[in-house]
Amino acid sequence: MRTILIAMDSSENSLYAFKQYAEKFHQDDNYVIAAHCVHYTITNPEELITSTKDEEKIRKVFEEDEKRILSVLNDMEALLAENKISGEVVRLEGQPETSILAKAEEVQAAMIVMGSRGLGTIRRTILGSVSEYVLHHSHVPVMICKIKS
């Protein structure tokens, strides 16, 4: 049994990558780990807490984030079931690129599958690219799927 790690968010690009894997590469003896690196609305909680004393507002933002994250995880579980793929959904925290690589190493993944946002050269240079980082630092093959323009 081979373990395949599919890095997913709620984007069209990651859904495309999942579908490409499911339709063209999946084998019945593969075990798929669909990994979602969560993104929070509030990136610096301390700043929010010092800028507003409204505890209800802060709690509501965190609750909305958690609701959104759980929805994405549930959608990912449904994708596995709909495609009759054996596997699980995992929640990752932290920087996506390092979290993906750490999880792949932890589960001894045979391959990483992910989508590409298709950033232009300038934006990719300034912002960096999660898929490029994973591609260049992974010790296992990486399949990057990009939607044709």
Q: Which helix (H) or strand (E) holds 35?
A: strand 30-37
Domain assignments of the chain as residue spans, ordered by start: 2-145
Domain covering 2-145 assigned CATH 3.40.630.30 in the classification: no
State the Cα angle at 87 between 41 and 5, rounded to 5°.
Answer: 60
Three-state secondary structure readout of 44-105: CHHHHHHHCCCHHHHHHHHHHHHHHHHHHHHHHHHHHHHCCCCEEEEEECCCHHHHHHHHHH
The pLDDT of 30-36, averaged and rounded, is 97
Number of helices (H), then strands (E), belonging to the chain: the values are: 6, 5
Summarised one tens digit per residue, pLDDT across range 48-102 is: 566 666 677 777 888 998 999 999 999 999 999 999 999 999 999 989 999 999 9
Q: Quick one: tokens of 102?
A: 């750490």
Q: Say what the pTM is.
A: 0.85
Backbone dihedral region of 148: left (phi > 0), alpha (psi from -120 to 50 degrees) or beta? beta
29, 36, 30, 38: which is closest to 6 by C-alpha?
36
Q: Residue 15 in 3-state DSSP?
A: helix
Summarised one tens digit per residue, pLDDT across range 10-31 is: 888 899 999 999 999 999 999 9
Tell me, what DSSP letter sits at residue 139?
S
pLDDT at 127: 42
CA distances from 46 to 49, 50, 51, 52, 55 (A): 5, 6, 9, 10, 12
